[in-house]
């Protein structure tokens, strides 16, 4: 059987095993407490499909400190095909992940001519339960899409390195841009390309073998061809940091001192290795314990492991070059997600291993093969062992996918496998509230605050109190949140809503006005202030605020409906009917049907 036939069989094997491991995600719901809500289920621009307005939105909107235009486009396409059915959205994630796996195998096989180690490395990466979060959550589409274009860019680079054709170079660069447009996860790609030039491409070895006079020239060319990639990385990194700072998603040093971040980074390197080799008790999120410091013994133990491994791979760089390349692949690609610039109070997250784990997969595959020199023994031992390992990974991944069934199942699982996880308590409380389980919800809100009395936990409980119409308690919690972080517009916006329900209209107007001063394009605050003005009988002020809200967000159905109500209350039924029709065109038709039943609209 030819190598090409073997490659086809391996690709089919990778597809079948991936479907077996992840297939049950087709029966899972959206996880509304994750990015699924903001990016998919509650996003009117995504639901409207591809049009001039939604394209502008995709290129200008910032999600969680990121620009994600290509990811948003993919969600728009999904919604136009599958609508609110989560199965289709999840399966597209799986298909993109499988695509990245196939190109990883093709890249390794092409550059090393070692088909079986390439197959195992790709399979280990594909089927590992640490991949579940990236694949099972529609809102984490940005990870799999960025990885797909990133791996395809690396694969394309091998063709350029082989023949140095400018067409392959520009294709590699374009794919890198598409990866960054999905999510700036692969900003480390230029660094990876320099490593891959050493192994498996062997381009740096050619520099060493050149006459002394040519070495600097050729080395300069190798570095120089990475300059456009490096410039893109620098620009995207600066923009991302700027957006993160502007959107207030950076955890300040007052909360999390830099030395604690460094200590967590050192411990995380080894912890991620542990989860790769022993993937049990996995969770979507592992929060910081702000009340205590990381034990010194844990920092020292992790530092020793990192130092010994680093010295070892450098010592064996000529004999086993893949160890050096893959170890620094792992170390380097984890840097952006280690929390040195902390975007959220998260110590670790499984999804952060998506790109770095490839380095470990290759180290394991080629490392084990190099230990057993005898081909016959290698065949007997390795093939059996490989199938056992992959079978175990499939079972573990299949089981892990089941925890993503819905919000309740997911966060209950997280609470079982982590300790004092206030984020899990908070998100479970939100999920329980949405399903009407109010007594259980408040227990988890209180538990989250007892563990970590942060502003976001008070804010979340305040939202619960609004949902259960306990408006005075909501005001108290939003006030506590504002005292802790006075520059968050949402705290003022929702305290204003609570004040309005208590008929304390002047305080409500002040809070909405404060939110608008802090963020002049905050359509929700304009709409809410318009509601208060309407209650106060200040007709023109309410219409002006609704107009501004609609100007800022032309798909804001609540503002159309609210403006329609005010128009009708003041005898302008034609304008009211027109707004009701606009809201219906955007998917909210209940009010239009009501006006027709009353004979107000035709």
Integer Cα distance of 40 and 68 in angstroms: 13
Look up residue 92 and give its two tokens.
Answer: 């597209």
Percent of the chain with pLDDT over 90: 75
Contacts of 76 (CB under 8 A, 6+ apart): 45, 46, 48, 49, 50, 54, 58
For 577, the 3-state DSSP assignment is helix
Q: Name the residue with tokens 């395809």.
A: 152
End-to-end CA distance of the chain: 73
Q: How many residues does the chain have?
A: 602
Integer Cα distance of 148 and 358 in angstroms: 13
pLDDT at 368 over 90: no
Contacts of 373 (CB under 8 A, 6+ apart): none
Look up residue 589 and give its two tokens.
Answer: 């038709």
**424-444 as b/e, with b when 16 or more CB fall inside 10 Å?**
bbbbbbbbbbeeebeeebbeb
Contact 348, 423 (CB under 8 A): no
User: What is the structure's pLDDT at 309?
Assistant: 97
- Of 30-44, 86-100, 182-196, 512-526, least confident by mean pLDDT is 30-44
Mean pLDDT value across residues 298-313: 97
Winning range, highest mean pLDDT, from 206-215, 393-402, 483-492 = 393-402
Integer Cα distance of 50 and 58 in angstroms: 10
Phi and psi torsions of 356, nearest 5°: -60, -30
How is residue 138 annotated by DSSP? G
User: What is the structure's pLDDT at 179?
Assistant: 98
Mean pLDDT value across residues 242-255: 70
Strand-pairing partners, residue 62, are 67
Q: Which of 545, 540, 572, 573 is nearest to 559 (CA)?
A: 545
Integer Cα distance of 553 and 561 in angstroms: 14
pLDDT at 245 over 90: no
Mean pLDDT value across residues 263-269: 95
Phi and psi torsions of 482, nearest 5°: -65, -40
pLDDT band (50, 70, 90) for residue 427 = very high
Q: Which of 235, 244, 238 is nearest to 65 (CA)?
A: 244
Domain coordinates in residue numbering, the chain = 3-402
Query: What is the per-residue pLDDT across 104-162, written as a single tens digit (0 to 9) for each?
Result: 999 999 999 999 999 999 999 999 999 999 999 998 999 999 999 999 999 999 999 99
pLDDT band (50, 70, 90) for residue 384 = confident
Supply the mean pLDDT for the chain.
Answer: 92
Secondary structure percentages of the chain, helix, strand, coil, to 5:
75, 0, 25
User: What is the structure's pLDDT at 525?
Assistant: 96
Q: Name the residue with tokens 């002006």.
A: 544
Largest Cα–Cα distance in the chain? 91
User: What is the structure's pLDDT at 213?
Assistant: 65
pLDDT at 248 over 70: no
User: What is the structure's pLDDT at 382?
Assistant: 82
Integer Cα distance of 242 and 577 in angstroms: 43
Phi and psi torsions of 62, nearest 5°: -110, 125
Q: Which of 548, 284, 321, 68 is nearest to 563 (CA)?
A: 548
Distances (CA, A) of 516 to 459, 484, 492, 497, 574: 19, 20, 10, 14, 30
Contact 348, 294 (CB under 8 A): no
Look up residue 82 and give its two tokens.
Answer: 């599958």
* Strand-pair category, 66-67 with 62-63: antiparallel
Check residues 342 and 54 and name the one with the higher pLDDT: 54
Integer Cα distance of 513 and 507 in angstroms: 10
User: What is the structure's pLDDT at 1?
Assistant: 65
pLDDT at 200 over 80: yes
Query: What is the per-residue pLDDT across 37-64, written as a single tens digit (0 to 9) for each?
Result: 888 988 888 988 888 888 888 988 887 7
Question: What predicted TM-score, i.e. pTM, was given to this entire model?
Answer: 0.91
pLDDT band (50, 70, 90) for residue 387 = very high
Q: Cis peptide before 200, with omega less than 30 degrees from 0?
A: yes
Q: Which of 100, 103, 55, 99 is nearest to 77 (CA)?
A: 55
Integer Cα distance of 596 and 593 in angstroms: 5
pLDDT band (50, 70, 90) for residue 250 = low
User: What is the structure's pLDDT at 212?
Assistant: 65
Integer Cα distance of 186 and 195 in angstroms: 14
Phi and psi torsions of 374, nearest 5°: -70, 120
Provide the 10 A C-beta neighbour count for residue 289.
15
pLDDT at 290 over 80: no
Q: Which of 342, 197, 359 is nearest to 273 (CA)?
A: 359
User: What is the structure's pLDDT at 598?
Assistant: 83
pLDDT band (50, 70, 90) for residue 481 = very high
Look up residue 44 and give its two tokens.
Answer: 């009117």
pLDDT band (50, 70, 90) for residue 365 = very high
Contact 62, 243 (CB under 8 A): yes
Mean pLDDT value across residues 196-222: 82
Mean pLDDT value across residues 436-452: 94
Provide the 10 A C-beta neighbour count for residue 31.
27
pLDDT at 291 over 70: no
Is the alpha carbon torsion for 370, 374, 379, 385 positive or negative? negative
User: What is the structure's pLDDT at 145?
Assistant: 97
Check residues 528 and 592 and name the one with the higher pLDDT: 528
User: What is the structure's pLDDT at 52?
Assistant: 85
User: What is the structure's pLDDT at 205?
Assistant: 82
Query: What is the per-residue pLDDT across 68-77, written as a single tens digit (0 to 9) for each?
Result: 999 999 999 9
Look up residue 165 and give its two tokens.
Answer: 């054709």
Mean pLDDT value across residues 476-500: 96
Contacts of 255 (CB under 8 A, 6+ apart): 290, 345
How is residue 250 annotated by DSSP? S
Q: Which of 354, 304, 302 is nearest to 329 (CA)?
A: 354
User: What is the structure's pLDDT at 339?
Assistant: 86
pLDDT at 294 over 70: yes
Phi and psi torsions of 295, nearest 5°: -55, 140
pLDDT band (50, 70, 90) for residue 267 = very high
Look up residue 121 and give its two tokens.
Answer: 């490395």
Strand-pairing partners, residue 67, are 62
How is residue 62 annotated by DSSP? E
């Amino acid at each position: 059987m030819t190598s090409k036939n073997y490659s086809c069989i391996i690709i089919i094997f990778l597809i079948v095993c991936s479907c077996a491991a992840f297939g049950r995600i087709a029966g899972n719901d959206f996880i509304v407490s994750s990015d699924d809500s903001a990016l998919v289920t509650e996003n009117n621009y995504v639901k409207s499909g591809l049009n001039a307005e939604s394209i502008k939105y995709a290129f200008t909107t910032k999600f969680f400190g990121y620009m994600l235009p290509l990811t948003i486009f993919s969600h728009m396409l999904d919604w136009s095909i599958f609508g609110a059915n989560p199965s289709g959205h999840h399966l597209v994630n799986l298909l993109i992940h499988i695509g990245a796996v196939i190109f990883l195998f093709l890249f390794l096989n092409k550059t090393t001519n070692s088909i079986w180690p390439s197959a195992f490395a790709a399979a280990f990466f594909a089927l590992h339960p640490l991949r579940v979060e990236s694949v099972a959550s529609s809102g984490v589409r940005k990870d799999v899409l960025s990885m797909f274009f990133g791996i395809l860019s690396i694969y394309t680079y091998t063709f350029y390195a082989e023949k140095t054709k400018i067409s392959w170079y520009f294709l590699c660069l374009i794919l890198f841009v598409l990866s960054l447009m999905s999510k700036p996860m692969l900003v480390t790609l230029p660094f990876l390309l320099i490593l891959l030039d050493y192994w498996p491409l062997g381009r740096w070895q050619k520099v060493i073998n050149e006459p002394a006079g040519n070495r600097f020239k050729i080395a300069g060319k190798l570095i120089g061809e990475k300059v456009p990639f490096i410039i893109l990385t620098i620009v995207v990194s600066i923009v991302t940091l700027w957006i993160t700072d502007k959107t207030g998603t950076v955890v300040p040093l007052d909360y999390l001192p830099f030395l604690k971040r460094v200590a967590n980074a050192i411990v995380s390197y080894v912890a991620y290795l542990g989860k790769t080799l022993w993937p049990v008790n996995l969770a979507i999120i592992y929060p910081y314990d702000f009340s205590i410091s990381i034990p010194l013994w844990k920092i020292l133990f992790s530092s020793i492991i990192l130092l010994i491994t680093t010295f070892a791979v450098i010592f064996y760089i000529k004999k086993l070059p893949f160890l050096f390349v893959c170890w620094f692949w792992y170390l380097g690609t984890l840097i952006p997600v280690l929390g040195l610039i902390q975007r959220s109070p998260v110590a670790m997250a499984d999804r952060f291993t998506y790109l770095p784990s490839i380095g470990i997969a290759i180290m394991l595959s080629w490392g084990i093969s190099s230990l057993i020199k005898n081909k016959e023994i290698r065949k007997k031992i390795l093939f059996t062992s490989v199938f056992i390992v992959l079978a175990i990974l499939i079972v573990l991944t299949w089981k892990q996918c089941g925890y993503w069934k819905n919000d309740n199942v997911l966060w209950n699982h997280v609470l079982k496998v982590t300790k004092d996880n206030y984020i899990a308590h908070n998100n479970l409380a939100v999920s329980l509230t949405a399903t009407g389980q109010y007594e259980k919800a408040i227990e988890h809100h209180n538990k989250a605050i007892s563990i970590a009395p942060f502003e976001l936990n008070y804010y979340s409980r305040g939202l619960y109190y609004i949902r259960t119409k306990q408006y005075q308690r909501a005001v108290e919690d939003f006030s506590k949140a504002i005292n802790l972080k006075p520059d968050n517009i949402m705290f003022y916006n929702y305290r204003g809503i609570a004040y309005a329900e208590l008929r304390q209209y002047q305080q409500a107007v002040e809070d909405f006005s404060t939110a608008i001063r802090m963020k002049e394009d905050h359509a929700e605050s304009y709409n809410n202030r318009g509601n208060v003005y309407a209650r106060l009988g200040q007709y023109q002020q309410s219409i002006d605020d609704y107009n501004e809200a609609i100007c800022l967000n032309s798909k804001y159905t609540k503002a159309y409906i609210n403006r329609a109500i005010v128009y009708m209350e003041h005898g302008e039924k034609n304008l009211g009917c027109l707004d009701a029709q606009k809201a219906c065109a955007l998917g909210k038709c209940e009010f239009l049907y009501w006006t027709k039943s009353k004979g107000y609209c035709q």
